Amino acid sequence: MSFALGLTGSIGMGKSTTAQMFVEEGCALWDADAAVHRLYAPGGTAVEPMRASFPAAIVDGAVSRDGLKQIIAADADVLKVIEAIVHPLVAADRAEFRESTSTDISVFDIPLLFETGGDAAMDAIACVSIPADEQKRRVLKRGTMTEVQFEEIRSKQMPNEEKCARSDFVIVTDTLDHARAQVQDVVRQIRAGMANA
């Protein structure tokens, strides 16, 4: 079975870009957000269970994220119900990927890795990191959310310092070249460890 490397990091830290760098080094990539998109798409395994609990969230045979946001906005308690439906399906998707991949290292891109306890299933954890002011600048530059929305998301995530402290590797994403060099070093260390095991 391939080495499971959990990749995590708070919003705006450069996790998606870093994940692609691991792919360039020959690692397989499982993306939690992409898995949810698959589950919510027409024919996805989350559609019928969600229809049973939240029929208003189903649009054109798929789970509407906007519809879910409206339902959660009206009653924050339903988030736990949604998570109880979706988390086991995501875990099953991840397990299927892990069983079927043949590369020596599999990278699991999971934003809420520590928050959901997913770190327990990983062989090692890499956390992407940048200073808080740069994180904020990057997110607001996208133009997709307000400062209030950004702070709300950040308040729900484990503090960056704690994520870094709990990780085996910290990848500072201040520049692409620096991030790539660190990714290459992480891959080298894992492969060397596997060769010596």
pLDDT tens profile 74-93: 888 898 899 999 989 999 99
Query: Of all helices (H) and strands (E), which one includes residue 74?
Result: helix 65-74
3 state SS of 176:
helix
Residues belonging to the chain: 197
Q: Which CATH number fits domain 1-27+104-197: 2.10.10.100, 2.40.50.100, 3.40.50.300, 3.40.50.970?
A: 3.40.50.300
- Give the end-to-end CA distance of the chain in Å, rounded to a whole number: 13
| Bridge partners (DSSP) listed for residue 105 | 3
Out of 136-140, 149-153, 167-171, 186-190, least confident range: 149-153
Query: Of all helices (H) and strands (E), which one includes residue 4?
Result: strand 3-8
Quote the pLDDT of residue 79: 87
Q: What is the mean pLDDT of residues 175-191?
A: 97
Angle at 114 (CA atoms; ends 71, 155), nearest 5 degrees: 55
Quote the pLDDT of residue 169: 98
Other C-beta atoms lying within 10 Å of the C-beta of residue 7: 30
pLDDT digits 0-9 by tens, 102-160: 999 999 999 889 988 889 999 999 999 999 999 999 999 998 889 998 888 888 889 99
Ranges of CATH 3.40.50.300 domains, the chain:
1-27+104-197
Quote the pLDDT of residue 138: 92
Q: What is the mean pLDDT of residues 168-195?
A: 96
Is the whole-model pTM more than 0.85? yes
Other C-beta atoms lying within 10 Å of the C-beta of residue 76: 8
